[in-house]
Amino acid sequence: MTRITRRWIGSVALSGLVVAGFVLLAVRIPLSSEKLRARVVATLADRLDSEVELGELTLRIFPRLHAVGTGLAIHHKGRRDVPPLISADRFTVDADLLGLWRRHVAHVRLDGLKIQVPPGEHHEDDPVKEAAKDAKSLPLGVDAGHVAAGRQVVIDVVEAPEAKVIIIPRNPEKSPKIWSLHTLRVHSVGANTSMPFQALLTNGVPPGQITTEGSFGPWHRDDPGHTPVNGAFTFKNADLGVFKGISGILSAKGTYTGRLETIDVEGETETPDFMVNISGHKVPLRTKYHAIVDGTNGDTTLERIDASFLNTSLVAKGGVYDVKGVKGRRVSLDITMDPARLEDVMTLAVKTPQPPMTGALRLKTKFELPPGDKDVVEKLRLDGNFAIAGGRFTDPDVQHKINDMSVRATGKTGDAAVAPKVASDFSGRFALGNGVLTLQPLTFDIPGAVVELKGQYVLQRETLAFLGNLFMDAKVSEATTGWKSVLLKMVDPLFRKNGQTVIPLKIGGTRSAPSFGMDVGRLFKQRKVS
């Protein structure tokens, strides 16, 4: 259940109670339409400690009570610098006299309902809290408290078709956030009742359609965060393309229960065509999650997320939090991938038709996604470590070179073309920031040799810049045959150190066209130091 869903349920319920109060007041004050309108405005302004506007108010009592009002607007007192908190173009009330005698109203309809949350000292408050604060002394015995004295007005059904909830930003240059409620029905609306509801709305970000039903209340006046809420929801056709750098159509379903300040949510999502745009590859992504939502500010603690794509699973814990003065929210997670497959992760991250490598992957990382209008790849922050077991390259030429290197590093002779297909083991620490992946260090093991590298890989440009060392069991002269082997015997001491051959390496170029070479300058510098 979204934070905004909880907001409009409470606000619409209170709006319905206000309108019902109009009618009950009107029945007891037999005045002309204009005097009745003026009396209603004055009474509401006094009772709600607000500035109230009302266009026309007409009342028909027989054969069934029918009241129609237009131009309803309720302002925070003294806040004419912002739109009204609650407004409705038109409201209608239908009731029978017997029901009114029992303080029951059959039906209230609010057309053109807008709930507009202004900035200011109550910027982070729930608008329902504000409405409840104003409604502590509703007319005719209506009380928004947890335990209200006297008989209460109960509305059998409140409807608010095509309503809007608008969050007004502090910065006037920013656009307001708007949620569109296509249908809303709240039943048994009263201050001290549990109110069943059904609603259909369009979510703002990501855009998609939410259907929800459940119950809300009774309203807890003294501590609104203790107001109970529970229900179920479905979220369809959510377009992830609004987040720069990823795409896919998400669907979700789940249940929620608890209190406004601590709502326990369990659900699952499915995105059959999830894609990180830098790779261009779509994969089916599924998640199950358990979260605690603070309905008073929208902060979400993610107790556990279990996600899977292709043959890889991951577990994440963390949260989604508001950032003061910045558009959007910060996502902070601790992620563990185990079991996982390297080829699955590379499918998400690399453009090649097939992943460059395969192998078993274990990974742990801190995941930070700050708010802001940037590509996900540019603003994503990672900090963690990984290990790859049994890694093999899918490019036959590359794998052949690895096989050849292994044979030569052990000092064996023979045809490298018939060398066994060796597996490579990788491990290291990594950090990602501003679209640059830093590896420090990266260790690469094959039989007979170890490579240690430090450097960077720029994701968007796919450029490499690494320095490191190749450690071999064999001497340089033993890594080749024939006349080359004889000539290289003279330089064996240059590379030999502590019983191993150490060759300084540098790697540059791009992912598709890497350049490998010996760092001659560093070689002689090392020998001079030693």
What count of Cα atoms within 13 Å lies in the side-chain half-sphere of residue 190?
Answer: 20
pTM of structure:
0.73
pLDDT in tens, 3-17: 545 555 555 565 666
pLDDT at 144 > cutoff 50: no
pLDDT in tens, 334-347: 999 988 999 999 99
Instruction: Count other C-beta atoms under 10 Å from residue 467's C-beta.
Output: 15
DSSP 305-348: EEEEETTEEEEEEEEEEE-TTSSSEEEEEEEEEEEEEHHHHHHH
Question: What is the number of structural domains in the chain?
Answer: 2
Give every CB contact of residue 239 below 8 A, 6+ residues apart in sequence.
Answer: 206, 207, 208, 247, 249
Q: How many H-runs (helices) and E-runs (strands) does the chain carry? A: 10, 28
pLDDT of residue 107: 92
Measure the CA–CA gap between 98 and 64, rounded to whole angstroms.
Answer: 10
**Domain of 72?**
1-225
pLDDT of residue 400: 83
pLDDT of residue 319: 92
Locate 11 and state its tokens: 């606000």
Most confident of 201-215, 300-314, 391-405, 503-517: 300-314
pLDDT at 270 > cutoff 90: yes
pLDDT at 181 > cutoff 80: yes
> Using 50, 70 and 90 to split pLDDT, how confident is the model at 385?
very high
Mean pLDDT over residues 45-52, rounded? 73
Question: SS3 of 508, please?
Answer: strand
Measure the CA–CA gap between 344 and 93, rounded to whole angstroms.
Answer: 59
Most confident of 177-181, 475-479, 520-524: 475-479
Average pLDDT, the chain: 81
Least confident of 191-200, 233-242, 451-460: 191-200
**Does a structural domain hold residue 437?**
yes
**Does a structural domain hold residue 343?**
no
Measure the CA–CA gap between 345 and 404, rounded to whole angstroms.
Answer: 27
Measure the CA–CA gap between 409 and 400, rounded to whole angstroms.
Answer: 14
pLDDT of residue 137: 34
Least confident of 360-369, 370-379, 452-461: 370-379
> Using 50, 70 and 90 to split pLDDT, how confident is the model at 47?
low
Residue that is last in its domain, among 177, 198, 225: 225
Residue that is last in its domain, among 166, 197, 225: 225
**Does a structural domain hold residue 250?**
no
**Does a structural domain hold residue 503?**
yes
Asked if 163 and 114 touch (Cβ cutoff 8 Å), the reply is: yes
pLDDT at 505 > cutoff 60: yes
**Does a structural domain hold residue 301?**
no
**DSSP secondary structure letter of residue 478:** G
Residue that is last in its domain, among 174, 194, 225: 225
Rg (CA), the chain: 34
Mean pLDDT over residues 256-262, rounded? 82
**Does a structural domain hold residue 22?**
yes
More confident residue, 41 or 28: 41
pLDDT of residue 48: 61
Most confident of 218-222, 226-230, 298-302, 430-434: 430-434
Quote the percentage of the chain above a pLDDT of 90.
34
pLDDT at 179 > cutoff 80: no
pLDDT of residue 19: 64
pLDDT of residue 126: 42
**Does a structural domain hold residue 370?**
no
pLDDT of residue 435: 87
pLDDT of residue 191: 64
Question: SS3 of 411, please?
Answer: coil
More confident residue, 262 or 250: 250
| Pick from 213, 19, 218, 182: nearest CA to 107 | 19
**DSSP secondary structure letter of residue 175:** P
pLDDT of residue 363: 95
Asked if 21 and 142 touch (Cβ cutoff 8 Å), the reply is: yes
**Does a structural domain hold residue 259?**
no
Mean pLDDT over residues 22-35, rounded? 57
Locate 447 and state its tokens: 């039989």
pLDDT in tens, 442-497: 998 988 899 999 999 998 888 999 999 999 989 989 888 888 888 888 989 989 88
pLDDT at 223 > cutoff 80: no
pLDDT at 146 > cutoff 60: no
Asked if 55 and 70 touch (Cβ cutoff 8 Å), the reply is: yes
Chain-centroid distance of CA 301 in Å reads 11
